[in-house]
Chains A and B, each alone.
Chain A
Amino acid sequence: MAVMTYREALNLALREEMHRDPRVFVIGEEVGLYQGAYKVTQGLLEEFGPERIVDTPIAESGFTGIGIGAAMVGLRPVVEMMTFNFALLALDQIVNSAAKMNYMSGGQYNIPIVIRGPGGPAAQLAAQHSQSMETYFYHVPGLKVVRPSTPADAKGLLKAAIRDDNPVIFIESETLYALKGEVPDDPDFVIPLGQGIVRREGTDVTVVAYMGMLYRALEAAEELAVEGISVEIVDPRTLRPMDTELILASVRKTHRAVVVEAGAGFAGMGSEIAACITEQGFDELDAPVERVTGESAPMPYARNLEKAKTPSKEKIVAAIRRVCYANGNGS
Chain B
Amino acid sequence: MPRTPLEPRFTIEHLSILDSDGNLDTALEPDLPADELKRLYRAMLLGRRLDERMVRLQRQGRIGTFAPIKGQEASQLGSVSTLRPTDWMVPSFRETAAMIWRGWPIDKLLLFFAGFLEGGQPAPAQHDLGITIPVATQLPHAVGLAYAAQYRGEDAVVMAFFGDGATSEGDFHEAANFAGVWHVPVVFVCQNNQWAISVPLKKQTHSRTIAQKALAYGFPGIQVDGNDVLAVHAASREAVERARAGGGPTLIECVTYRLGVHTTADDPTKYRTDEEVAEWARKDPLTRFTEYLRKKNLLEDGLEAQVDAEIAEAIRRFEATPPPDPLAIFAHAYAELPPDVAAQRRELAERLQAPPPRRADEEHPPAPPMRGQRMTRR
Q: A-side interface residues toward B, CB under 8 Å?
A: 25, 51, 56-57, 59, 61-75, 92-93, 96-97, 102-110, 112, 141-142, 144, 164-166, 194, 240-242, 244, 252, 255, 282-284
Contact = CB atoms under 8 A, between A and B. Distances in A.
A102 B335 contact: yes
Contact of B181 (A57, A96, A104): A57
Given A108-B124, A284-B376, A65 B175 contact: yes
A69 B142 contact: yes
A226 B72 CA distance: 77
Contacts of B151: 25, 51, 70, 75
Contacts, number: 146
B148 interface: yes
Given A65-B137, A106-B332, A110-B332, 4 more contacts: A62-B175, A63-B178, A69-B147, A141-B341
B141 A105 contact: no
Contacts of A103: 117, 331-333
A33 to B, nearest CB: 15
Nearest to A243: B339
Given A66-B144, A67-B144, A93-B140, A59 B130 contact: no
A64 B140 contact: yes
Nearest to B143: A66
Question: How many interface residues does chain B have, given as a range?
Answer: 35 or more
Interface in B32-64: none
Contacts of A241: 338-341
Given A62-B174, A65-B171, A108-B121, A72 B141 contact: yes
A110 B144 contact: no
Contacts of B144: 65-72
B177 interface: yes
B334 A66 contact: no
B336 interface: yes
A96 B134 contact: yes
A110 B335 contact: yes
Nearest to B120: A104
A194 B140 contact: no
Contacts of A61: 140, 170-171, 174
Point out which of B120, B124, B332, B333 has the most chain A C-beta atoms below 10 A from its C-beta.
Answer: B332
B347 interface: no
